[in-house]
Amino acid sequence: MKALDCHRAEELIIVGLDEGLDEGRATLLQEHIDRCPSCRLYSEEMRRVLGLVASDLPADPGEGYWTRYQVSLEAKLLEKEVARGWWGIPWKALGAAATAAVVLLAVYGGIFHVGKQQNVDVNTQLIVLNDLSQVLGPGDDEETPSLSLRDWTTSAMISQQVAGYANGTPSWFEVEEESDYLLL
């Protein structure tokens, strides 16, 4: 059999330490190492390096570690199952859709309504319906007027009563009509 060169010997040294060599190649390598100090040193160093790597093993972390591992993994798996949804129902998607619906309702039903209320004249809101009937006088079907001349003597007074809360200026109905009624 042909003698080994150093390059081939180095390869066989690693193969021998890693997987083992058949008898023929092992003999060939040994013959080379016996007469080659450089490859002998290489073989010793490589044996030491691989031995060191193999010995550098972490210890088992212990039973407490494995118990904690199992418990927390099981909890995470359960969480995953719940997120996935029972009976294949995509709860996450449904939840997102429900949230979107609530937001839309809030925007179109709530906020706009609030906005409208804010635009109403506060002064106008103060006038309630029976106050209006008193001011406008009796209707055709009413026998007794709700106001008498004794109570309201001048149109200026009426204007003051109706719009007194609004700096003396009526804002949304004609005061002249009431004045006419009182003058009759």
Name the residues that contact another protein, by CB under 8 A. Answer: 10-11, 14, 18, 42, 45-46, 49-50, 52-54, 56-61, 65-66, 68-70, 72-74, 76-77, 80-81
Length in residues, the chain = 184
- C-alpha radius of gyration, the chain, whole number: 51
Rounded Cα distance, 132 and 59, in Å: 92
- Judged by CB, which is closer to another protein: 45, or 121? 45
CB of 11 to another protein, least distance (A): 7
CB of 39 to another protein, least distance (A): 13
- Judged by CB, which is closer to another protein: 86, or 129? 86
- Judged by CB, which is closer to another protein: 60, or 141? 60
Backbone angles phi, psi at 21, to 5 degrees: -120, 150
Please say whether the beta carbons of 155 and 183 come within 8 A: yes
Please say whether the beta carbons of 146 and 138 come within 8 A: yes
CB of 23 to another protein, least distance (A): 22
